[in-house]
Amino acid sequence: MNEKLLKDMCQAFGPSGSECEIRAIIEAEIKNYVDEVTTDVLGNLIARKKADAPKMMLAGHMDQIGFLISHIDEKGYLKFANIGGFSEYALFNQRVKFKNGTIGVIRSERVENMKADFNMEKLYIDIAASSKEEAEKKVKIGDTCVYCNETYVDDNIIMTPALDDRIGCYIMIEAAKKLKNPVYDTYFVFTVQEEIGLKGARASGYTVDPDYAISFDVTGSFDTPNALKFPSKMGDGAAIKIKDNSLICSPDVVNFMEKVAKDNNIPYQFEILTIGGTDSGAIQMTKGGVKAGVVSVPSRYIHSDNEMCSVKDVENCVELTVKILETRIS
Amino acid sequence: MLIKRLTDANGLPGFECEVREIIKEEIKPYVDEMYTDRMGNLIAVKNKNKAGRHIALSAHMDEVGLCVSHIDKDGYIRFHSWGVDARILPAKIVRIGKDRVVGVTGTKAIHLQDPEERTKALPVDKLYIDIGAESKEEAEKLVEPGDFVAFDSEYVEFGNKVKAKALDDRAGCLAIIEMLKSDYPHKLTACFVVQEEVGLRGSIISAYQIDADLVLNLEGTIAADTMSIKEHQTVNIQGDGPSISMIDRTSIYLKKYIDALTEVADKNGIPYQFRRSQMGGTDAANYHVAHGGTPVVGLAVPCRYIHSPVSIVDKRDLENFLKLTQKFVFAYGNGEIL
């Protein structure tokens, strides 16, 4: 586990639409392992390892959920719009940080009725400014902020506010480093604006025009006390997606990924979700259609400031990705 | 007056013909070529052989309204609603189909409503349109299922405001038409798209027929500035200038392009405001992700009572909307920004 890289990536600022900082880290890290790196108009980072072979597009999204400031009141309190899906219950009392380092906390005054008081109407961000003028010195309308929490890593688990989807980007980078004999013309695409509707993947999928696509993202871990009955569980291996709300993965790709995992003794499990979506959902529909799959990391508490996953699962995902890129789909 | 002609015309989703014909006639002398695609989008190109930057402008021709779903045995018309708040539907005058058959949305008289009924808005399936027909046969001579139903609401001016239906998005259409009447040093494509109000559908197709360096999406948007609205809930305030989009339900607008737009506005002393809500979607969503991704700038005129027969815009906002659109396109085409 490259703990420093993972921590740097998870702490980098990058809500949808503002992926500049995280993109710079990824670009610096991957450029020596690929033949060319470009950034497109929406901000997608496209790193290509060339080969005279079918095109394989790997996609992981750089953006994280966050908040956009929509109003600053006379007393210096900020009203905000959400970027990506949140439960309002998870927002209360969260510390947030802005790109320029400004820190704030999401609050409402009193909580008497959870339903009435934990909604966007009542919640505000307090950056401890005493007036509108003072607040405007630190934050402007249109600025964005994200959950502020440290990234914790030990031998077993990772806990961080930006696991979704820095962990997918991390897996792609580590796979690029370990890749010895690629059998595809491989595009490592680090996408933007996934959290607001798979935007970056739709544009970059069109640019790359791949034969196959695999995206990398977090998925649910259904092993908590009242979990729904779905197969993926933290610690049980790399998850091969069968379906979510954005796509049904191509059976050819699913079967291929399972075979690669089996042949190389890599622990794996299947994943089925009835909610959520990921980049492959958009790439699959590019032009005349693309055979697409997803490698997922089972994670608890997604879209909170303590998203959690297993270190072993991440390592297995890297291993599986390397082997996928070294094996032709027949 | 052009804005009156545009808003008095009917153009429900899928039935944008009337609006499209006015636009075609209006822009014909000023463009090199134009065509209507299979869905009905009108696409026009000005300066088609000019090299350099290519900017596209987009606005939607369709408006909210109703669609006839069924004619019952007594000759009453049942309908679907396309983007209209059901609470404002009772007691409106409507026009059905190309022949503009007159009807009214009828409801139970207040005398006959029980106390609970009086406190609740009637859902669409309890409402009907009365066209004065006494039987199904008689009604069928005038109306058939699938006919569109538009509000009967004429353009009126009062104070600094204008009232009309369909200001969302005939205001955008107007801006593009006016734009095309000037000369530019670069290539410019105009997209007048269909079916925005039913899910941004026309632009799915138009986005792939143009290959612009930048798209300026022009809209009518929400103004929430009337009594009892708290300061932070004012999405836009009428009179404060055209509204710049930062985020909505279907797009995040990239900061770099927002900054370029405000730079042009500041330089020319044109007032503007930011749209302070993330609800509502626009065609920008489809342009953003078309081809390998296209930058989109979103600019809109704030409309009070949007999606109703009596939407209102401020004349000064409309004027500044046209001015900012034009200055931005010039500045971009000349390479002064971005």
What's the angle, vertex CA A172, arms to CA A169 and CA A176, rounded to 5? 140
pLDDT at residue B83, rounded to an integer: 83
Active site residues of A: 194
pLDDT at residue B87, rounded to an integer: 86
Of B62, B242, B320, B93, residue with least CA distance to B166: B62
User: Could you say which of 3.40.640.10, 3.10.129.10, 2.40.30.40, 3.30.70.270 is the CATH number of the domain covering B65-151?
Assistant: 2.40.30.40
Given an 8 Å threshold on Cβ–Cβ distance, is B293 in contact with A141?
no
Contacts of B291 in chain A (CB under 8 A): 203, 206-207
Given an 8 Å threshold on Cβ–Cβ distance, is B231 in contact with A70?
no
> Using 50, 70 and 90 to split pLDDT, how confident is the model at A115?
confident
Is residue A207 exposed (0-12), middle (13-18) or buried (19+ Cβ within 10 Å)?
buried
Contact between residue A212 and residue A292 where contact means Cβ atoms under 8 Å apart: yes
- Homologous superfamily of the B2-63+165-333 domain (CATH): Zn peptidases (3.40.630.10)
Helix (H, G, I), strand (E, B) or coil at A168: helix
ipTM: 0.72
Of A51, A35, A62, residue with least CA distance to A211: A51
- Report the pLDDT averaged over residues A56-80: 96
The per-residue pLDDT for range A307-316, each reduced to its tens digit, is 999 999 999 9
Mean confidence (pLDDT) of chain A: 95
pLDDT at residue B59, rounded to an integer: 98
- What is the C-alpha separation between B147 and B91, in angstroms, rounded? 20
pLDDT at residue A88, rounded to an integer: 82
- Report the pLDDT averaged over residues A210-215: 98
Residue A306: pLDDT above 90?
yes
* Torsion sign (Cα): B253, B254, B255, B260: negative
Q: Compute the nearest-CA separation of B273 from chain A (Å).
A: 10
Q: Which residues contact B132 (CB under 8 A, 6 or more apart)?
A: B102, B103
Q: Where in chain A is the domain with CATH 3.40.630.10?
A: 3-64+162-325
Query: What is the fold, at CATH topology level, of the domain defined by A66-147?
Result: Elongation Factor Tu (Ef-tu); domain 3 (2.40.30)
> Using 50, 70 and 90 to split pLDDT, how confident is the model at B116?
confident
Given an 8 Å threshold on Cβ–Cβ distance, is B254 in contact with A43?
yes
B269: alpha, beta or left, given left = phi > 0 and alpha = psi -120 to 50? left
Mean confidence (pLDDT) of chain B: 94
Which of A40, A68, A83 is closest, CB to CB, to B293? A40
Which of A71, A82, A203 is closest, CB to CB, to B293? A203
Given an 8 Å threshold on Cβ–Cβ distance, is B276 in contact with A71?
yes
Mutate to test the interface with B, among A61, A71, A187, A286 (most CBs of B within 10 A): A71
Residue A22: pLDDT above 90?
yes
User: Tokens 């004429």 map to which residue?
Assistant: B154
Q: Compute the nearest-CA separation of B233 from chain A (Å).
A: 9
pLDDT > 90 in chain A, percent: 90
Report residue B271 CA to chain centroid gap. 22
Given an 8 Å threshold on Cβ–Cβ distance, is A40 in contact with B292?
yes
Residue A86: pLDDT above 90?
no
- What is the C-alpha separation between B224 and B307, in angstroms, rounded? 13
> Using 50, 70 and 90 to split pLDDT, how confident is the model at A121?
confident
- Report the pLDDT averaged over residues B17-21: 97
Given an 8 Å threshold on Cβ–Cβ distance, is B292 in contact with A18?
no
Contacts of A200 in chain B (CB under 8 A): 293
Given an 8 Å threshold on Cβ–Cβ distance, is A68 in contact with B293?
no
A→B contacts (Cβ < 8 Å), by residue, are 16-18, 40-44, 68, 70-71, 73-74, 79, 81-83, 141-142, 193, 196-197, 199-200, 202-204, 206-207, 282
Q: Compute the nearest-CA separation of A8 from chain B (Å).
A: 24
Q: Which residues contact B21 (CB under 8 A, 6 or more apart)?
A: none
> Using 50, 70 and 90 to split pLDDT, how confident is the model at A173?
very high
Strands B42-46 and B33-36 turn out to be: antiparallel
Given an 8 Å threshold on Cβ–Cβ distance, is A70 in contact with B274?
yes
Given an 8 Å threshold on Cβ–Cβ distance, is A203 in contact with B247?
no
Contacts of B285 in chain A (CB under 8 A): 197
> Using 50, 70 and 90 to split pLDDT, how confident is the model at A130?
very high
- Report the pLDDT averaged over residues A149-164: 97
Given an 8 Å threshold on Cβ–Cβ distance, is A17 in contact with B250?
no
- Homologous superfamily of the A3-64+162-325 domain (CATH): Zn peptidases (3.40.630.10)
Q: Tokens for A209?
A: 């025009």
Which of A17, A41, A68 is closest, CB to CB, to B292? A41
Contacts of A140 in chain B (CB under 8 A): none
Residue B180: pLDDT above 90?
yes
The per-residue pLDDT for range B25-71, each reduced to its tens digit, is 999 999 999 999 999 999 999 999 999 999 999 999 999 999 999 99
Given an 8 Å threshold on Cβ–Cβ distance, is B289 in contact with A17?
no
Contacts of A82 in chain B (CB under 8 A): 278
The per-residue pLDDT for range B306-317, each reduced to its tens digit, is 999 999 999 999
pLDDT > 90 in chain B, percent: 84
Residue B123: pLDDT above 90?
no
Which of A83, A199, A207 is closest, CB to CB, to B247? A83
Report residue B213 CA to chain centroid gap. 24
Contacts of A204 in chain B (CB under 8 A): 292-293
Contact between residue B217 and residue B206 where contact means Cβ atoms under 8 Å apart: no
* Torsion sign (Cα): A9, A11, A15, A21: negative
Q: Where are the domains of chain B?
A: 2-63+165-333, 65-151
Q: Tokens for B235?
A: 């999405």
pLDDT at residue A134, rounded to an integer: 97
pLDDT at residue A114, rounded to an integer: 81
Which of B252, B255, B276 is closest, CB to CB, to A83? B252
Residue B1: pLDDT above 90?
yes
pLDDT at residue B113, rounded to an integer: 84
Q: Where in chain A is the domain with CATH 2.40.30.40?
A: 66-147
Angle between helices B255-267 and B315-333 (to 10 degrees): 110
The per-residue pLDDT for range B88-111, each reduced to its tens digit, is 899 999 999 999 999 999 887 888
- Report the pLDDT averaged over residues A40-69: 97
C-beta atoms surrounding B221 within 10 Å: 25
- Report the pLDDT averaged over residues A293-313: 96
The per-residue pLDDT for range A228-287, each reduced to its tens digit, is 999 999 999 999 999 999 999 999 999 999 999 999 999 999 999 988 999 999 999 998
Contact between residue B100 and residue B143 where contact means Cβ atoms under 8 Å apart: no
Helix (H, G, I), strand (E, B) or coil at A273: coil
Which of B231, B250, B295 is closest, CB to CB, to A41? B295
List the catalytic residue out of B196, B197, B219, B336. B196
- What is the C-alpha separation between B85 and B169, in angstroms, rounded? 17
Residue B213: closest C-alpha in chain A: A41
